[in-house]
Amino acid sequence: MKTRSLTLWLAALLPCVAAAADPPRAVAGQPDQKLWFAQAAGNWEAHALPLGNGPMGCMVFGGIDKEQLQFNVDSLWTGNENMVGKEAGKSKDDSYLAPGMGFYQNFGSLFIELNGGGTPSDYRRQLELDRAVHTVTYTRDGVRFTRETFCSHPAGVIVMRLTADGPGRHSGRLVLEDAHKAPTVARDAKLTASGALDNGMQYESQVRLLNRGGKVAARDGTLVFENCDSLTVVLAADTDYLMDRAKGWKGEHPHARVTARADAVSDRDYDQLLKAHVADHQSLFKRVSLDVGRTDPEQAALPTDRRIEARRKGSADPDLTEMLFQYGRYLLIASSRPGSLPANLQGVWNNSNTPEWHCDYHTNINVQMNYWLAEPANLGECQLPLFDLFTAGIPVHREATRIRFGDVPGFTFQTVYNVFCGTGWEWNMIGSAWIAQHFWEHYAFTQDLGYLRKTGYPFMKQACQFWEARLKKLPDGRLVVPEGWSPEHGPREDGVSHDQQIVWDLFRNTIEASKALGVDPEMRARLTDMQERLVGPRVGKWGQLQEWMADRDDPKDDHRHTSHLFAVYPGRQISPAETPEFAKAAAVSLEARGETGDARRSWTWPWRCAIWARLGQGDKAAHMIDGLIQYNLLPNMIATHPPLQLDGSFGIVAGMCEMLVQSHAGQIQLLPALPAAWPSGSVSGLRARGGFEVGIEWKDGRLVAATVKSLTGNKCRVAYGKETRELEIAPGKTSVVRF
């Protein structure tokens, strides 16, 4: 049963606006935080379930006689920093892709082979999102078996514990298979596979097998166990990658680190290790709760794959929507933690050495979308890896940019992007400006001036310098981006809307950042002047928002990219309140893109969901969630492009946040796009720009009350519909608001 603790808590507070204690966190009413299946995974992509601790991830199959943990480490990449810009600059051929681009690699698999017995029954495998623990249970020959797996961030290892309610029931062997054919050395109760990629990157994985009862012996590169009561399997892996160009992206051999991590775990520590893992995960995961309705208990009890099917056939399942929301948050926590690399196209889950699109950091929508949820969904620190990587790339990009564009200041890069900050394929000229938006948003949400000074502003400023030098003046004095591109749609030409809007956004954010820091007044004045002169949005002949300067948009075009709607989301140049004609035109354009053909991709639905939410169209936004579930979710509930692509899983969370709270227009707008499908519900822990944390309860489509916690004591304006309230909330305090 869901408990509406927010209601009870708010009922005690009578005045319209009152100071109160901290809002309740993680409302108890979330029954459904588990994905579960009645059979083992047959297929890696569709069925296996993801665990991760930031740098390391694995897919768990849950096989009874043969368990497989297919694992990855974020930095295991072929390729190098490649300087494709150099080549492209010489040949003037932007589409040249250097062999140095490389691919994200599969590290390997650990197999736990168990000797058979009678026919197993009561099989279940599940992933608890709120504990980040995968559990397999089944009964065989009257004995109940339990297998728990988790990927610990504090300990830096993957741990699997196998137990049974009868003694001596585990016999079999452990096989470590390196995806690059490095031999496995077995000694005592340890396995080690050590190798190097063709670019010289050194890597190593190690396994420890800790047994209670029975015995363990090394044999033919495997570990054989016999009649053990329980087993604890520990897997550690790493590479010699270092995020530092000056050191050639190369650090120490990982052997000592991997050994230390694996050795640090002893069988006795298991409960402690699990407890520390759950506490660490929950410190992030439990910040936000969401309740958008109740699912019929019979439907809620279905295994996840069958439940998705039922939803596709039309049975409403609000708890599944909540799970989709929390799954996106779960996946970000699992694939992007301070100190790790950012989440790539597949997070840290990849079973191929030549994955689609290199499994890269794709800079023309995908890597950005991966991080749209981070700030509003209260996982701001999970975005830090993005800043680390793109900052580390600045020296590379400055050189490549000069080779390609001549003696310009600042930098930008190409579309395809690897861990050495090598880039390839088309020059994504607007790429650095778009990434700069993330550097700004982290400040906008956290109000962390120290971060802005040291990390955010320097990146934004250099991205600006490139555009200051590169913008082209039309005879009438207006400014256009030359040779731009509406990603993967249309030719290279001047004044493409996508580019114009992103430069506008970059200038606006940098102006605000320089004010916040009290620096660079001359540059600020220049940017203000240039921003005003940028060619702005235009409404075309069928009422659409023009994608290009020329009015040639095709109303039948179903292209997946909605690049010219950047100004609505994630930008803030167009809004129904400030620029109603453009907002209307944006809706016409979006409607025309339709929802068939190319519109059905992992990331198209989330982007459109967020745009509809910004346009105040809750039902249309909710329809985009339906679209993702209908066409682009795998049975394990991960988004698929195809193939499996995390942007959809992450992006839909951002879209839902925009439906509930918006804060891009100088105020906190409550329930700006509440759909009819969510008549009553509550949310807590969402973040808003200006340094606030927001909780809302609504009933029959109307706001009941909201809580606003101030993190920094900034002035705060809260809006519901057209009504507003000004609040003064001391740092760390919470106010309740009703309208």
Q: How many CB atoms lie within 10 A of CB 48?
A: 26
Q: Which is nearer to ligand FUC, 455 or 645 (CB)?
A: 645
Instruction: Name, in order, each residue with C-beta under 8 angstroms of 736's C-beta and a sequence gap of 6 or more.
Output: 10, 13, 15, 17, 18, 20, 705, 706, 707
Q: Which is nearer to ligand FUC, 216 or 654 (CB)?
A: 654
For residues 310 and 490, what is the distance between their CA atoms, to the nearest angstrom? 39
The least CB distance from residue 691 to ligand FUC, in Å, is 33
The least CB distance from residue 601 to ligand FUC, in Å, is 5
The least CB distance from residue 357 to ligand FUC, in Å, is 4
Q: Which is nearer to ligand FUC, 345 or 716 (CB)?
A: 345
Q: Which is nearer to ligand FUC, 88 or 703 (CB)?
A: 88
Torsion-angle region of 706 (φ positive above 0: left; ψ -120 to 50: alpha; else: beta): beta
Q: Which is nearer to ligand FUC, 307 or 641 (CB)?
A: 641
The least CB distance from residue 485 to ligand FUC, in Å, is 12
The least CB distance from residue 356 to ligand FUC, in Å, is 7
The beta-strand segments (E) located in 647-722 are 661-662, 668-670, 681-688, 692-699, 702-710, 716-720
**Residues at the site binding ligand FUC, with contacts judged by CB under 6 A:** 345, 357, 362, 364, 366, 488, 560, 601, 603, 641
**Quick one: tokens of 714?**
């900034």
Q: Which is nearer to ligand FUC, 117 or 643 (CB)?
A: 643
Instruction: Name, in order, each residue with C-beta under 8 angstroms of 559's C-beta and a sequence gap of 6 or more.
Output: 488, 489, 593, 598
Q: Which is nearer to ligand FUC, 137 or 353 (CB)?
A: 353
The least CB distance from residue 364 to ligand FUC, in Å, is 6
Q: Which is nearer to ligand FUC, 125 or 560 (CB)?
A: 560
**Quick one: tokens of 529?**
């002047």
Q: Which is nearer to ligand FUC, 267 or 598 (CB)?
A: 598
Q: Which is nearer to ligand FUC, 488 or 591 (CB)?
A: 488
The least CB distance from residue 281 to ligand FUC, in Å, is 28
For residues 494 and 366, what is the distance between their CA atoms, to the nearest angstrom? 24
Q: Which is nearer to ligand FUC, 24 or 648 (CB)?
A: 648
Instruction: Name, in order, each residue with C-beta under 8 angstroms of 470's C-beta and a sequence gap of 6 or more.
Output: 405, 408, 429, 481, 482
The least CB distance from residue 560 to ligand FUC, in Å, is 6
Q: Between the CA of residue 152 and those of 126, 253, 265, what are the distances in Å?
A: 17, 22, 11
Q: Which is nearer to ligand FUC, 111 or 357 (CB)?
A: 357
Q: Which is nearer to ligand FUC, 362 or 725 (CB)?
A: 362
For residues 505 and 500, what is the distance between their CA atoms, to the nearest angstrom? 9
Written as one string, the DSSP assignment of 31-80 is: ---EEEESS--SSHHHH-EEEE-SSEEEEE---SSEEEEEEEETT-B---
Q: 716-720 and 668-670 as β-strands: parallel, antiparallel, unpaired?
A: parallel
Which amino acid appears at position 288 of this protein? V
Q: Is residue 677 within 8 Å of 622, Cβ to Cβ?
A: yes
Q: Is residue 278 within 8 Å of 13, Cβ to Cβ?
A: no
Q: Is residue 197 within 8 Å of 180, Cβ to Cβ?
A: yes
Q: Which is nearer to ligand FUC, 229 or 558 (CB)?
A: 558
| Closest residue by Cα to residue 419 from 360, 466, 477 | 360
Q: Between the CA of residue 481 and those of 95, 155, 431, 466, 503, what are the distances in Å?
A: 20, 48, 13, 11, 8
The least CB distance from residue 418 to ligand FUC, in Å, is 14
Instruction: Name, in order, each residue with C-beta under 8 angstroms of 111's C-beta and a sequence gap of 6 or more.
Output: 66, 67, 68, 174, 175, 176, 177
Q: Which is nearer to ligand FUC, 105 or 662 (CB)?
A: 105
The least CB distance from residue 595 to ligand FUC, in Å, is 16
Q: How many CB atoms lie within 10 A of CB 554?
A: 11
The least CB distance from residue 346 to ligand FUC, in Å, is 10
The least CB distance from residue 569 to ligand FUC, in Å, is 17
The least CB distance from residue 104 to ligand FUC, in Å, is 12
Torsion-angle region of 53 (φ positive above 0: left; ψ -120 to 50: alpha; else: beta): alpha
Q: Between the CA of residue 208 and those of 92, 172, 235, 267, 531, what are the distances in Å?
A: 53, 15, 7, 10, 59
The least CB distance from residue 361 to ligand FUC, in Å, is 10
Q: How many CB atoms lie within 10 A of CB 700?
A: 7
For residues 203 and 98, what is the distance between their CA atoms, to the nearest angstrom? 24
**Quick one: tokens of 178?**
């390196």
Helices then strands (H, E): number in the chain? Answer: 20, 32
The least CB distance from residue 603 to ligand FUC, in Å, is 6
Q: Which is nearer to ligand FUC, 280 or 360 (CB)?
A: 360
> What secondary structure letter does DSSP report for 453?
I
Q: Which residue is nearest to ligand FUC (CB)?
A: 357
Please give the span between the terminal C-alpha atoms of the chain, in angstroms, as a whole number. Answer: 29
| Closest residue by Cα to residue 153 from 381, 337, 349, 389 | 337
Q: Which is nearer to ligand FUC, 413 or 603 (CB)?
A: 603
The least CB distance from residue 345 to ligand FUC, in Å, is 6
Instruction: Name, in order, each residue with C-beta under 8 angstroms of 102's C-beta and a sequence gap of 6 or more.
Output: 77, 78, 79, 80, 82, 199, 358, 418, 420, 422
Q: Which is nearer to ligand FUC, 651 or 691 (CB)?
A: 651
The least CB distance from residue 641 to ligand FUC, in Å, is 5
**Quick one: tokens of 734?**
């919470």
445, 446, 447, 449 alpha-carbon torsion, rounded to 10°: -130
Q: Is residue 686 within 8 Å of 377, Cβ to Cβ?
A: yes
Cis peptide before 606 (omega within 30 of 0): no
The least CB distance from residue 650 to ligand FUC, in Å, is 13
